[in-house]
Amino acid sequence: AKIDLYREAGLMVYIGGTLFEAFIVRNMFTEYKDLLRKWDLNMCEVSDGSIEISHKEKCHYIKELAKEFNVVSEVGSKDENRLIAPYKWIELMQKELESGSWKVIAEAREGGNVGIYNKGGDVRSDLIDEILTKINSNDILWEAPKKSQQVWFIKLLGSNVNLGNISWDEVIPLETLRIGLRADTFFDYIKK
């Protein structure tokens, strides 16, 4: 019923990457695809934040799923102590896009304090700048659970920037940021 409700509202529906990982760690890839078909989902997420698989294997899953489903894949680590060099982010993103990902998700977790952010939640702007030299921003879904992070990306990439990991109760406040109805982005939205 929930999936139908989302679909009726015109939303693209997919179940999170952790469920994908739960199937993969149990060697149940076929059953995972069967579940997507059973629930009539045409989209899925491939991630490796909880399990250890090689990037080659991850790209294989992306390639296989992309034959039938719209795939998003996640790059980055959920471990706040693991910093990935910018060139590695770019390499991983490129390979996942080449393997068939529709968009790559730049990891931040619900806390917005890992991956593309530092432990305090500040944007690693040098990392973002470097990624954007090689990867089209339209191909990236930036996780931005905090208002300050959302504002930063809207100011950098415009009101239609792909943002993710937005809590259900933050959807309307984010939309007001996007259309300049909050002081943070009021003047950014006015056309000159």
Question: Could you list the pLDDT tens digit for every one of the 192 residues in the chain?
Answer: 999 999 999 999 999 999 999 999 999 999 999 999 999 999 999 999 889 999 999 999 999 999 999 999 999 887 777 889 999 999 999 999 999 999 999 999 888 999 999 999 999 999 999 999 999 999 999 999 999 999 999 999 999 999 999 999 999 999 999 999 999 999 987 765
- Contact 20/71 with Cβ under 8 angstroms? no
Q: What is the pLDDT of residue 122?
A: 96
Strands (E), the chain: 43-46, 70-75, 101-106, 140-143, 163-164
Paired tokens of 152: 């930063």
3-state secondary structure of 95: helix
Of 144, 141, 139, which is closest to residue 166 (Cα–Cα)? Answer: 144
Say which residue the tokens 């002081």 belong to.
Answer: 183
Residue 136: other Cβ atoms inside 10 A: 8
Paired tokens of 65: 């799923």
Q: What is the pLDDT of residue 192?
A: 59
Q: Is the pTM of the predicted complex or chain greater than 0.75? A: yes
Pairwise CA distance, residues 8 & 60, whole Å:
32
Q: What is the pLDDT of residue 82?
A: 81
- Contact 65/100 with Cβ under 8 angstroms? yes
Q: What is the pLDDT of residue 83?
A: 82
Pairwise CA distance, residues 106 & 109, whole Å:
9
The backbone region for 10, taken as left when phi is positive above 0, alpha when psi lies in -120 to 50, beta otherwise, is left
Alpha helices by DSSP H, listed for 11-145, are: 17-25, 29-38, 55-66, 86-99, 125-132
- Contact 98/67 with Cβ under 8 angstroms? no
Residue 163: other Cβ atoms inside 10 A: 19
Pairwise CA distance, residues 154 & 123, whole Å:
13
